[in-house]
Amino acid sequence: MFILDEYLNKDCIAIGNFPLCQLLLKNDKKYPWFILVPRRNDTIEVFDLLPDEQHQMWAEVTTFSEILKADFKADKINIGTLGNIISQLHIHVIARRKDDATWPASVWDKLPAEPYEQNEIEAIKAHLQKIMPVTFSFK
Contact (CB, 8 A) for 131 and 67: yes
Minimum separation from the CB atom of position 80 to its own copies (A): 4
Stretch in the footprint of its own copies (CB under 8 A) among 14-22, 35-43, 54-62, 114-122: 54-62
103 binds its own copies (CB under 8 A): yes
d(CA 41, CA 107): 26
Residue 131: closest CA among 23, 54, 21 = 23
Minimum separation from the CB atom of position 94 to its own copies (A): 9
Binding residues for its own copies (CB under 8 A): 44-47, 51, 54-55, 58-59, 61-62, 65-66, 69, 76-85, 87, 96, 103-106, 108-110
